[in-house]
Structure 1
Amino acid sequence: MARDRDDDACPGALQVHQAADGALARVRLPGGMIDAGQLAALAIAAQRFGSPAMELTSRGNIQIRAVSDPPALADAIAAAGLLPSASHERVRNIVASPLSGRHGGEGDVRPLVLGLDEAIQGDPRLARLPGRFMFALDDGRGDVSGLGADVGVHLLTPDHAALLVAGVDTGVRVPAADVITTLTAVAARFVDVRGKSWRAKELDDADVLLTGLPRTAEPGRTWPPVMAPPVGWIAQRDGRVALGAAVPLGVLEARAAAFLAAVDAPLVITPWRSVVVCDVDEDVADAALRVLAPQGLVFDATSPWLSVSACTGSPGCDHSAADVRRDAADAALQPADTHRHFVGCERACGAPPVGEVLVATGDGYVPRHP
């Protein structure tokens, strides 16, 4: 893909994006992991410095819109422990299997998330990664390997993983102990060769990223995209419970976030714009369900809210030809056989890899063709 510049304007907590409704800040959450106190702090900051309607992203991050005082918001994010590196804050893009170590999977990738995040921050070269470059750690269940991350691993056993580039198995096999050094080395090579490319798939020859890494298996395998978030009552292997909550259109109101934080349990923001409340006893889980469902969170895996999504649309985006969230909400009342993503313009922000993408024209919607 030809570009006229090698940097990108991907927002962060310090580098905000000026949208139609004001400044937009994005808080990176490696692996989507956030604790109750941090979510409560973000809810307060959103109410004080921006819109209380926080947005969950397809990379498991949180956005705050209409920010009136970006430096004050950044200070609040840092005070919550969510801004550990000013130089690397936009490149800490790590998605991981949300239920890893708790339910299913070949192994637990949570330690790899923490180690990879630390390694990224400790490598000055990686501060030059584009803000759109993404790492993925799939625990073997295949939920995030289909997201097309720039570089990632897919556990084949608890001790070995397949190395993926642009969501494709390279044929390189990596011991679990070498995952972090391998991923950071591939990312550093991308920095050296990328030119004006922002993503690995944009390189003319992505094999250059594998220099010195021998192939020991057949390359080319891919994983189908997962569309459905983990929703409902999920039994953990330790006898406790995780609660998966879909968030309609990915808009998490600060009030609902405060109720989630009040459960006082670890939380995971998933790449499907949902939340998992982890490690709760059954009685706590039962009480939490009764409190959280009235806040608009969805615990029913058959809910029509899981079959629609949307970009920001009007009035938040000046490129949009319609209030696509309103139209998507109306569409949720008329379930279809496929997932529908409503967008306000041809850029189709946040479009999932499968399903129907409907583009606003100012006079209705038309399907976007690949």
Structure 2
Amino acid sequence: MARSRPDRCPGIVHPWPADDGGLVRIRVPGGRVPLPALRALAAVAEEYGDGRVRVTGRANLQVRAMPLATDGSLAGPALAALEATGLLPSRTHDRVRNVLVSPQTGLAGGRADLRPVLAALDALLLADDAVAALPGRFLFTLDDGRGDLADKHLDLGLVALDGGTAQLRVGEGWGEVVALADAPAALLAVARAFLAARGTGPEAPWHVPELARPLAPAVPPAPGATAATGPLPLGPVAGGRHVGVPDDGLDSTTIAAWTAPTVIVTPWQGVLIPEENR
């Protein structure tokens, strides 16, 4: 696909100027949100926005109707309030922490607990100045082997093969088999290779499949890499309960009733509330 403009996917530092005010998108790697931070975000939405916290198809959060400065950026007090929630650890990396992870990983099922992989990848992204240039729609997907993200792979990611190894996803194809402990660094290296290959300017590709040449040689999927069990079901699920989020989002009253230390936003526009803090 030929591009003719830079990616303008919204973030916090880069809001989208919608008809009702600034739309801010809060990246939540792996969908994991400390409940105090989510409650603080709801309070920010009530004070500065339309009072609702919405969930996106990439397990991120959005707030609408936020005040904008004359240059189109988020008004200073609103930006400071969002930073105080702890959900914006880096202004420069505002839009690049797009990481989907199997929501139930480490809670129930799956071949491996990918929470350590998620934490390590996020730390590497935040520590690397170069990857701040990744497009705002560039996506990492970490599937713990159950196949719930089988239809989400787009740019880079992995599928766990067992408790210690995974096969990388590179665009629409497959990459090398690596130890899970080495996977975050391997993904970061391929992300840097994408940046080098895409070039600069408004026509630069946003996604790995849009590159003129493949980033890696084509390899077949390893045994077990193509498992596909489908999305998290609505209703009772192993490891917790799944709460659907309406199109108009969550309000502070709904969030106040939850008690889990951490809740997990899912790619199916819902929230998984774990049975316990594990």
- Partner of 1:252: helix, strand, or coil? coil
C-alpha displacement at 1:233, in angstroms? 3.2
1:218–1:244 Cα change, 3 Å: closer
Runs of 5+ consecutive residues of structure 1 not aligned to the other structure: 237-241, 282-370
C-alpha displacement at 1:275, in angstroms? 0.1
Equivalences for 1:192-271 in 2 at 5 Å?
192-195=196-199, 196-206=204-214, 209-210=215-216, 215=219, 226=230, 228-236=231-239, 242-249=240-247, 251-260=249-258, 263-271=259-267
Deviation sequence 1:90-135 (CA, Å, 0-9, x none): 1011000001011000010011111100000111110110000011
Deviation sequence 1:302-361 (CA, Å, 0-9, x none): xxxxxxxxxxxxxxxxxxxxxxxxxxxxxxxxxxxxxxxxxxxxxxxxxxxxxxxxxxxx
- Decide whether the 8 Å contact of 1:58 with 1:271 is kept in 2: yes
Normalising by structure 2, what TM-score?
A: 0.88
C-alpha displacement at 1:267, in angstroms? 0.3
Tell whether 2:196 aligns with 1:166.
no
Partner amino acid, structure 1, of 2:274: C
2: distance between equivalents of 1:202 and 1:216?
A: 20
Corresponding residue for 1:146? 151
Corresponding residue for 1:131? 136
Corresponding residue for 2:38? 39
1: distance between equivalents of 2:16 and 2:262?
A: 29
Deviation sequence 1:161-188 (CA, Å, 0-9, x none): 1111224333x21111210011000100
2: distance between equivalents of 1:164 and 1:120?
A: 18
Corresponding residue for 1:189? 193
Tell whether 2:106 aligns with 1:105.
no
2: distance between equivalents of 1:164 and 1:250?
A: 34
- Decide whether the 8 Å contact of 2:117 with 2:181 is kept in 1: no
- Decide whether the 8 Å contact of 1:146 with 1:225 is kept in 2: no
C-alpha displacement at 1:61, in angstroms? 0.5
- Partner of 1:90: helix, strand, or coil? coil
1:28–1:217 Cα change, 3 Å: closer
Corresponding residue for 2:124? 119
Equivalences for 1:1-370 in 2 at 5 Å?
1-5=1-5, 7-68=6-67, 70=74, 71-170=76-175, 172-195=176-199, 196-206=204-214, 209-210=215-216, 215=219, 226=230, 228-236=231-239, 242-249=240-247, 251-260=249-258, 263-280=259-276
Q: Calculate the aligned-residue CA RMSD, in Å.
A: 2.2
- Decide whether the 8 Å contact of 1:45 with 1:76 is kept in 2: yes
C-alpha displacement at 1:223, in angstroms? 6.2
Q: Which runs of 4+ in 1 moved over 6 A?
A: none
- Decide whether the 8 Å contact of 1:46 with 1:254 is kept in 2: no
The structure showing larger relative contact order (alpha-carbon pairs under 8 Å, at least 6 residues apart) is 2
1:57–1:250 Cα change, 3 Å: farther
Percent of pairs identical after alignment? 37
C-alpha displacement at 1:148, in angstroms? 2.2
- Decide whether the 8 Å contact of 1:160 with 1:176 is kept in 2: yes
Runs of 5+ consecutive residues of structure 2 not aligned to the other structure: 69-73
1: distance between equivalents of 2:28 and 2:221?
A: 33
C-alpha displacement at 1:49, in angstroms? 0.5
- Decide whether the 8 Å contact of 1:147 with 1:167 is kept in 2: no
Normalising by structure 1, what TM-score?
A: 0.67
- Decide whether the 8 Å contact of 1:55 with 1:63 is kept in 2: yes
Partner amino acid, structure 2, of 1:66: A
Q: Which structure has the bigger radius of gyration?
A: 1
